Chains A and B, each alone.
Chain A
Amino acid sequence: MSENSIKILLIDDEEEFINTLAQRLEFRGYKAETAPDGQTGINLLAKNHFDVAILDLMMPGLNGIDTLKQIKNILPDLPVILLTGHGSTKAGIKGMHLGASDYLMKPLDINDLITKISLALGK
């Protein structure tokens, strides 16, 4: 699978962050869409095909862990990479126990993200 055909969904309440990140990913040949909260993200995932989801853990309303649980209920094979601004590895490890592929801490390095996307897709 080439970068051009990889479709990524970014879920975070920090819209400015995910919009910018989406643009940067597009510069690198990925197709990226954004969702401002967990529920919107789940809906998008249910209706459309995505290869990878990037999910923030700290969100108002449906938080990252609950969103992850619901995603894994409907799409158990979808790779999900978690983002955390809390600096704690605990939440990331908990997410990985629930089926997340990997986790990254904010502020993130775009190259680290791309590496983790590649790893999640088995490249």
Chain B
Amino acid sequence: MSDLLEVEGLTAGYHGVPVLHGIDLRVPAGTICAVLGANGAGKTTLLRALSGLIRPSTGRIAFDGADLGDLATERLVRRGIGHVPEGRGVIAELTVEENLMLGGAWRLGWAGVWGAARAGLRRDVAEVYQLFPPLAARRRQPGHQLSGGERQMLALGRALVGRPRLLLLDEPSLGLAPRVVAQTMALLRQLCEQTRLTVLLVEQNVRSALSIADQGVVMSLGRVVAAGDARRLADDADLRHAYLGF
């Protein structure tokens, strides 16, 4: 299985202070990779570096075999990298439908009023409504009227409308009821199997993440301290006690 994402010696941080120290990571296409670790391990910073929100100071990021260099976030989206940030990033002032359309609006031209591209976007939005029926019922409501679970559906659905090949998900279970977390995780697994979507999943909910992941990466203080098969990581008692807290 070929690697969709390759990260080598990645160092990045904020205002000249490194948070990530020489991260190496390989994620095969069509798999889920769980990124685990305590608060401050650098998980969110890793996602931000991968989606171009912060510039790496050293290292290499390759996507589908091509070096990403200094590509801006907007261009990475066009290459197929979607990022659902922590807190979901639902735009409260826009309606559910507008949030979803925005996910693929980059595919439209300047006006984007009509044409094949808009029809395609409408189809993608309709597919999201099939995937998340509660969103269809609330399509005209502004984002701020949604519950936490609905916001999570919207954020995930909006990212899918952008047709990503690699989805970076930051704490999708945060603040959600266990039942909703289980549904979300099951859906991610299903999407990977059906569409060959690749997911890099940052999670505090270690058990849930490892239950659906193919592989895992454990981070501590900006370094990868363990990596490998998800089931093997879950079965490693020493690792669980030292870094994963269960």
Instruction: Say whether A and B bind each other.
Output: no
Name A's B-contacting residues (CB within 8 A).
none
Please give the residue numbers on chain B whose beta carbons come within 8 Å of chain A beta carbons, in ascending order.
none
